[in-house]
Amino acid sequence: MKKREKVTIYDISKKLNISAATVSRALNDNPKISKKTKELVAKTAAEMNYKQNRLALALKKGRTNNVGIIVPYIDRSFFSSVIRGIEEELTPHGYHVIIAQSHEEVANEMEQINALLNTQIDGIFMSVSKTTQSADHIQKVLDEKVPLVFFDRKIEVKGVSSVVLDDFKGGFMATSHLIREGCKRIAHLSGDVNLEIYRNRYEGYKAALKEHKIPFNPSYVLQTSSKIESGAQAVEDLWQLEEKPDAIFAAGDYAALGAIQELKNRKINIPQEVSVVGFSNEPFTKYLESPMTSVDQTPHLMGKIAAQVFLEQVNESQNYSIEKKVVLDPELFVRDSSNRTTLNLQNAAI
């Protein structure tokens, strides 16, 4: 079967008996072409099933209206919520998003950056992988004069804007809450401290202990991954200690969930014997048998603000070197896993 040939502007010009240049200008909304001619050309193009070469048009205009978003994983609620926020903010401005994953590997991150730059991308949003230590591959984005905005996870690069959470404050809030609930021996599942966000949560934890004059015990600090199994293993390790913790603050909700599961396996009452607080406020936290207290990272808002920062950058007379640092406030959602006060009041009323 003979392949159907694509309709060109020359086919349209022949049918309407006007020049190909006029057809091109009409299709591109040139102000020199009358409204009547534009409407006639648009109608004829639709009837003839004419498709514009969007790549050629983008190159001609110097923009593609595509932006890239690089995340460690797409299957985490936090990152999907950030992406939704970016999309909601950019869609009205005609932008489309291309999503890429690093899978926590800097080599993948480098490959994704190169792929996006090769598609003539208009901007990149990125949450760096836990193995990202150097900024060499990120400098390539700046050399290409492509706007870059970090969100959640970042490394310090001059000229790059970022939108992050105040993770120190989040760690401080979570630990202070546990202390107010009467906890004195608070363990911390720290996450990967190669990442700034986890270091800051850890520092917030230590600062809260210091402010409330509770001695810091390094035996209560375990580095975990963001996995349920890692949280469960942490409880096994902590329960080898002579003096067991009476609370656990995990730097991620999945580790906190693993800790809760292992505590229940050991028939330990939550929160009466051990209180648990997580970080991220994943959707599952409120649907557990004992809903989990967690620090919310406001991911949807983070995405929207990151998009706003990008729009400011591209509208700043093509000045891609502007640098804006936005730090969002965390919010603590107190639920049954740590709320001893409410539980005690309920028991007293019985």
* 148 and 97 share one domain: yes
DSSP helix/strand/coil, 161: strand
- Report if residue 160 sits inside a domain: yes
- Report if residue 4 sits inside a domain: no
Check residue 152 and report its DSSP letter.
S
* 48 and 187 share one domain: no
Where residue 49 falls among pLDDT bands split at 50, 70, 90? confident
Mean pLDDT score, 215-225: 96
306 touches 82 (CB < 8 A): yes
- Whichever domain contains 23, its CATH number is 1.10.260.40
- Whichever domain contains 260, its CATH number is 3.40.50.2300
* 221 and 342 share one domain: yes
Q: Is 317's pLDDT higher than 90?
A: no
**pTM of the predicted model, to two decimals?**
0.81
Question: What pLDDT is attached to residue 316?
Answer: 64
* 313 and 253 share one domain: no
Question: What pLDDT is attached to residue 344?
Answer: 54
Q: What is the DSSP string of 46-83?
A: HHTT----HHHHHHHHT--SEEEEEES-SSSHHHHHHH
Buried b (16+ CB within 10 A) or exposed e, 197-215: bbbbbbebbbbbbeeeeee
Which is nearest to 128 in space by CA: 159, 149, 158, 97?
149
* 155 and 223 share one domain: no
- Report if residue 29 sits inside a domain: yes
309 touches 281 (CB < 8 A): no
Mean pLDDT score, 228-239: 97
Q: Which one has a higher pLDDT value, 179 or 35?
A: 179
Q: Mind listing the pLDDT tens digit for each residue in 8-31?
A: 888 888 888 888 888 888 887 788
Mean pLDDT: which of 41-45, 216-220, 318-322 is highest? 216-220
Where residue 57 falls among pLDDT bands split at 50, 70, 90? low
* 171 and 274 share one domain: yes
* 89 and 107 share one domain: yes
User: Which tokens in the block code for residue 53?
Assistant: 């070469």
Average the pLDDT over each of 123-127, 130-134, 248-252, 315-319 and give the range with the smallest value: 315-319
Q: Is 285's pLDDT higher than 70?
A: yes
- Report if residue 215 sits inside a domain: yes
Where residue 349 falls among pLDDT bands split at 50, 70, 90? very low
Where residue 1 falls among pLDDT bands split at 50, 70, 90? very low
* 278 and 181 share one domain: yes
The alpha carbons of the chain give a radius of gyration, in whole angstroms, of 27
Question: Which H/E stretch holds residue 159?
Answer: none
154 touches 167 (CB < 8 A): no
* 47 and 100 share one domain: no
- Report if residue 87 sits inside a domain: yes
**CA atoms of 164 and 82, how far apart (whole Å):** 11
Q: Mind listing the pLDDT tens digit for each residue in 69-84?
A: 999 999 889 999 999 9
Domain span at residue 305?
64-164+298-329
Q: Is 221's pLDDT higher than 80?
A: yes
Cβ within 8 Å of residue 143, ≥6 positions away: none
What distances in angstroms separate CA 309 from CA 177, 283, 289, one per listed residue?
33, 27, 40
Cβ within 8 Å of residue 347, ≥6 positions away: none
**CA atoms of 115 and 129, how far apart (whole Å):** 17
**CA atoms of 147 and 162, how far apart (whole Å):** 11
Amino acid at 276: V
- Report if residue 57 sits inside a domain: no
Question: What pLDDT is attached to residue 307?
Answer: 96
Report strand pairing: 186-189 vs 325-328: unpaired
* 211 and 338 share one domain: yes
* 249 and 343 share one domain: yes
How many separate domains does the chain show?
Answer: 3
Mean pLDDT score, 258-279: 96
**CA atoms of 325 and 320, how far apart (whole Å):** 14
Check residue 277 and report its DSSP letter.
E
280 touches 252 (CB < 8 A): yes
Question: What pLDDT is attached to residue 54?
Answer: 54
* 283 and 191 share one domain: yes
Q: Is 165's pLDDT higher than 60?
A: yes
Question: What pLDDT is attached to residue 2?
Answer: 44
Question: What pLDDT is attached to residue 267?
Answer: 96
Mean pLDDT score, 114-122: 90
- Report if residue 277 sits inside a domain: yes
- Report if residue 3 sits inside a domain: no
Angle between the N-to-C axes of helices 167-180 and 196-211, in degrees from 0 to 180, rounded to the nearest 10: 40
Between the two ends of the chain, the Cα-to-Cα distance in Å is 82
Mean pLDDT score, 143-165: 92
* Residue whose structure tokens are 């593609």: 64
Q: Which one has a higher pLDDT value, 321 or 331?
A: 331
Alpha helices in the chain (DSSP H): 9-16, 20-27, 35-47, 54-61, 77-90, 106-118, 136-143, 167-180, 196-211, 228-238, 253-265, 299-314, 340-349
